[in-house]
A = this chain, B = another copy of it.
Amino acid sequence: MKFVLLRMLSVVLIGTGNVAHHLFDAFYPKEDIQVIQVFGRNIRSLSSFEAKCAVTSVPENIIDADVYIVAVNDDAISEVSKLLVTKKGMVVHTSGSVSKDNVVAARKGVFYPLQTFSPKKEVDFSSIPICIEADTLQDLKILEVLAHKISERVHLVSSAQREKLHLAAVFVNNFTNHMYVIGQEICSKEELPFDLLKPLISETANKLRFLSPDKAQTGPAKRNDILTMQKHLDALENPIQKKLYQLISESIKEQNEKKL
């Protein structure tokens, strides 16, 4: 361990959504991190923490802690952090796209786990990159210790970098998932099971373990196979999907020319 803390770190989780749940589950078994309270407006979501931890829905009842982790919707971060403005502990949010300075607090920071979380699906936190940011070196060290308790991959990332990282995440996660949605739609129109495509989807992702994506690129656009591309365009009925096919192909060709 790089930084030795002489005492236990206490954490209050603000929020009861997906990220809060997954963070709670990751911190809970760790000996020298203690989640001492969960705060949330939604009584029903809050009740799921009750068996393991103190909970409250009353801002005035939020107790003192070393770190407050605000895991709420992006546009609520600023507002919710104001509830903690009198606290001495550090207040961090967990968002990819919100600047550190949106947190209203004396000691502010970011604790962004770069992953997509689904309800009820366990995740292995140890391999999830956690991007941290704080105002002072001392606070950064506290966040580093906290992050290292649950993950092997802790990165110092500035707000400006994090914004770009989040943009990149939109491409590789949200936009990629939309490619799957279109694949599913094409299959379903032909009464073919989407399962047919799943090994290909896995391999496309797995390939990145040994091949960088620019080297892994294949397909009609890469080969400039105009005949196949025209057949595909004719087969697509949805006008947006037609445009999408053309534009992504154009982008692949542009990328290809850059490398030549």
Which residues of A pack against B, CB within 8 Å?
74-75, 97, 114-116, 118, 121, 123, 127-129, 131, 153, 155, 157, 160-161, 163-184, 186-187, 189-190, 192, 194-214, 216-222, 225, 227-228, 231-232, 235-236, 240-241, 243-245, 247-248, 250-252, 254-255
Contact = CB atoms under 8 A, between A and B. Distances in A.
Decide if the interface of chain A is mainly helix, strand, loop or mixed.
helix
B232 A199 contact: no
A103 to B, nearest CB: 17
A116 B181 contact: no
25 contacts: A114-B199, A129-B195, A155-B192, A157-B192, A163-B231, A164-B189, A165-B196, A166-B232, A168-B182, A168-B183, A168-B184, A170-B220, A172-B183, A172-B200, A172-B204, A173-B201, A176-B179, A177-B219, A178-B213, A178-B252, A181-B217, A184-B214, A205-B205, A240-B250, A240-B251
Contacts of A176: 176, 179-180, 201, 204
A166 B232 CA distance: 9
Q: How many copies does the complex hold?
A: 2
Q: Which of A160, A161, A213, A243 has the most CB of B within 10 A?
A: A213
Contacts of A217: 174, 177-178, 181
B225 A74 contact: yes
A75 B226 CA distance: 12
Contacts of A220: 97, 170, 174
Contacts of A157: 192
A208 B200 contact: no
A62 B157 CA distance: 61
Contacts of A167: 186, 232, 235-236
A59 to B, nearest CB: 26
- Report, nearest first, the 9 A-B pairs whose CB atoms are least far apart: A174-B219, A180-B213, A205-B205, A168-B186, A172-B183, A168-B183, A181-B213, A164-B190, A171-B183
Contacts of A192: 155, 157, 161, 164-165
Contacts of A164: 186-187, 189-190, 192, 235
Nearest to A128: B199
A201 B172 contact: yes
